[in-house]
């Protein structure tokens, strides 16, 4: 029995070429989609890790403050959360760099973390100290230096900081 030589016919040559080209295009599409999904996974993983770190720091700070203030009566409001708002990200061309913004927030949050769990009145009385603590820190991220300038502070159950960044030297 003889197998017919289909490889010589132009229709089969086009068919086999189409299979090869389709396989290459499909593989390139697969690589692109895999890269996009991997990038989203990394961003989500970083966000969840930072949220976990914030929650553990908040928990530890609240636990320490609770143990210290256990003998005293607690009156008034306490600071439970810190929110940071950057005012000039467009001027510094950082509005699309989520990783840089995240690292800047983490650096400032670590400086202001001692305020979590304290009374609003205590924070309001030591507001100058809080502002000086944040403004005296030079933030180094990836060969860039930033100096934070506190524009506005709102002390409530949530400590809201409006910060203007300057490029440091």
Q: Can you tell me the distance from the alpha carbon of 87 to that of 148, in angstroms, rounded to the nearest whole number?
A: 11
Q: Identify whether the C-beta of residue 141 lies closer than 8 Å to the C-beta of residue 104.
A: yes
Q: What is residue 158's three-state secondary structure?
A: strand
pLDDT along the chain (169 residues), means of 10: 66 86 96 95 93 92 80 66 90 85 90 85 88 89 88 89 86
Strands of the chain (E only): list them: 81-86, 138-141, 144-154, 158-167
User: What are the C-alpha distances in Å from 122 to residues 57, 108, 137?
Assistant: 20, 20, 22
- pTM for the model: 0.58
């Amino acid at each position: 029995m003889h197998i017919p030589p289909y490889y010589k016919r132009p229709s089969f040559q086009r068919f086999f070429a189409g299979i090869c080209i389709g396989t290459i295009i499909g593989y390139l599409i697969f690589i692109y989609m895999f890269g996009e999904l991997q990038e989203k996974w990394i961003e989500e993983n970083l966000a969840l890790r930072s949220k976990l770190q914030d929650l553990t720091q908040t928990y530890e700070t609240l636990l320490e403050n609770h143990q210290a203030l256990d003998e005293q009566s607690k009156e008034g409001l306490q600071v439970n959360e810190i929110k940071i708002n950057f005012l000039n990200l467009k001027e510094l061309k950082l509005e699309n760099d989520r990783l840089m913004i995240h690292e800047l927030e983490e650096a400032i949050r670590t400086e202001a973390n001692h305020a979590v769990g304290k009374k609003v009145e205590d924070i309001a009385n030591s507001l100058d100290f809080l502002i000086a603590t944040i403004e005296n820190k030079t933030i180094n991220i990836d060969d860039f230096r930033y100096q934070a300038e506190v524009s506005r502070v709102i002390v409530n159950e949530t400590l809201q900081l409006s910060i203007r960044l300057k490029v440091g030297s």
